[in-house]
């Protein structure tokens, strides 16, 4: 420390750091329309980087190699969206039949409640109508938000495509910029952070896609065996919702049960659906996910859940998907900056790192 530097008290340093974190959060919230497409573009460009580099090594012009890589990703995204939209269209076509089955089950439920609980039909209707009005209002708001979300998603896909192309094309300029910004940091450390972040994101996304494919296939086969309508759609739907810890599997099971009630007279299948999907979720959470994805991103469960909640509150659903890669990149940075190593320890899962021994290296004797 030089003579001109002033050593600030700890509480002032802590206040400054908290204020900076708050300011970053506010800027992300205000600029989420720009931040979200740009963040997805960075992830997508890192995933497509090996393909673009492969084409360039085989004498493709850089512009063409980057363009083909982005177009391939766009075709894949559009194909997934087309599949989901076509399945939803089939669901809407069968809605009159679904409504008929729901009414039949509702009449049976009314008879059971009247016989067992001695609640008159009129009172049941009044309760259901009151709840129905609330559900109707919520559903109307949901449809409006869904339309806005779909519109924003189409715009976001266009922006992500454009951003990804330019990030790939100007990647060498961006890399030189980062080295210039952190010129006081040893260049090997900057290179190490960039390299590890790139491989971590590539491995994480690929591992996540493999895990989702396994879960989607297992759930689709289960629902097909049980004769559930739209089995493949709900298998894929469950795999996507499985990205939401704890809540996703519960919501997907409820959706499958409701559709089963509305399309089938065999209510015994509901028990098999619950048991089967919970077994698949158990195997995924305890064996598949830790083996394929968990080994790539060593983040403890507390920070994962907190990061997902913060991301969801800041930028909505997109924050759920961006939270874990962002936390993992921050951990890589924290582990290599001397003053931030305690934060890297907080983010990590000590059980996954055999080199860390709390008793010897962290806690005082």
Residues 145 and 285: their CA atoms lie apart, in Å, by 31
Q: Report the interhelical angle of 32-57 vs 121-169 (nearest 10°).
A: 50
Token readout for 117 is 């609980």
Q: Residue-wise pLDDT tens for the chain (365 aa)?
A: 555 556 777 778 778 878 888 898 888 888 888 888 888 898 889 889 999 999 989 888 989 999 999 999 888 888 877 877 777 777 666 666 666 666 776 677 777 777 777 777 777 677 767 665 655 555 555 445 545 555 566 677 788 888 999 999 998 898 888 888 877 777 777 888 888 888 878 877 888 888 888 989 999 999 888 888 788 888 888 888 777 666 677 878 887 887 777 666 666 778 888 888 889 888 887 777 767 765 556 677 778 778 878 888 888 777 877 887 888 888 877 887 777 788 888 887 655 444 444 444 444 44
**Is the torsion defined by CA of 265, 266, 271, 276 positive or negative?**
negative
What pLDDT is attached to residue 241? 78
Burial (Cβ within 10 Å: 0-12, 13-18, ≥19) of residue 286: exposed
3 state SS of 299: strand
Phi, psi of 230, deg, nearest 5: 60, 40
pTM score of the predicted model? 0.69
What pLDDT is attached to residue 344? 80
In this structure, are residues 269 and 260 in contact, taking their beta carbons and an 8 Å threshold?
A: yes
State CA 69 to chain mean position distance. Answer: 23
Token readout for 144 is 């409006």
What pLDDT is attached to residue 310? 87
Q: Length of the chain, please? A: 365
Residues 230 and 262: their CA atoms lie apart, in Å, by 12
CA angle (293 as vertex; 315, 329 as ends), nearest 5: 50
Residues 298 and 300: their CA atoms lie apart, in Å, by 7
Listed in sequence order, the residues at least 6 apart from 116 whose beta carbon sits closer than 8 Å to its beta carbon are none
In this structure, are residues 28 and 151 in contact, taking their beta carbons and an 8 Å threshold?
A: no
CA angle (257 as vertex; 284, 229 as ends), nearest 5: 90
What pLDDT is attached to residue 68? 93
First to last CA, the chain: 30
Residues 89 and 262: their CA atoms lie apart, in Å, by 17
What pLDDT is attached to residue 21? 83
**Is the torsion defined by CA of 329, 208, 296, 186 positive or negative?**
negative
């Amino acid at each position: 420390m030089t003579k001109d530097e002033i050593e600030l008290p700890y509480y002032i340093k802590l206040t400054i750091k908290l204020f900076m974190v708050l300011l970053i959060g506010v800027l992300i919230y205000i600029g989420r329309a720009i931040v979200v497409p740009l963040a997805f573009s960075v992830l997508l460009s890192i995933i497509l980087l090996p393909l673009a580099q492969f084409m360039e090594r085989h004498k493709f012009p850089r512009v063409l190699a980057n363009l083909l890589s982005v177009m391939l990703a766009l075709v894949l995204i559009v194909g997934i969206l087309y599949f989901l939209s076509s399945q939803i269209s089939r669901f809407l076509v069968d809605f009159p039949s679904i409504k008929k089955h729901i009414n039949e089950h509702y009449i049976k439920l009314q008879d059971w409640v009247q016989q067992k609980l001695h609640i008159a039909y009129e009172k049941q209707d009044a309760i259901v109508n009151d709840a129905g009005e609330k559900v109707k209002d919520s559903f109307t708001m949901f449809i409006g938000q869904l339309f806005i979300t779909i519109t924003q998603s189409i715009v976001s896909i266009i922006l992500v495509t454009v951003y990804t192309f330019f990030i790939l094309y100007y990647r060498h300029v961006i890399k030189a910029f980062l080295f210039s910004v952190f010129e006081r940091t040893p260049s090997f450390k900057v290179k190490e952070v960039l390299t590890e972040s790139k491989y971590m994101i590539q491995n994480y996304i690929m591992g996540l896609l493999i895990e989702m494919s396994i879960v989607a296939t297992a759930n689709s086969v289960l629902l097909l065996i049980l004769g559930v309508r739209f089995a493949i759609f709900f298998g894929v739907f469950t795999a996507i919702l499985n990205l939401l810890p704890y809540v996703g599997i519960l919501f997907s099971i409820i959706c499958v049960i409701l559709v089963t009630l509305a399309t089938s007279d065999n209510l015994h299948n509901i028990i098999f659906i619950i048991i089967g999907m919970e077994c698949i979720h158990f195997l995924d959470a305890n064996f598949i996910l830790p083996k394929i994805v968990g080994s790539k991103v060593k983040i403890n469960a507390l920070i994962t859940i907190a990061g997902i909640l913060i991301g969801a509150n800041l930028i909505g659903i997109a924050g759920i998907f961006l939270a874990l890669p962002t936390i993992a990149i921050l951990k890589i940075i924290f582990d290599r900056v001397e003053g931030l190593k305690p934060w890297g320890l907080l983010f990590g899962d000590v059980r996954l790192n055999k080199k860390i021994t709390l008793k010897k290296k962290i806690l005082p004797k």
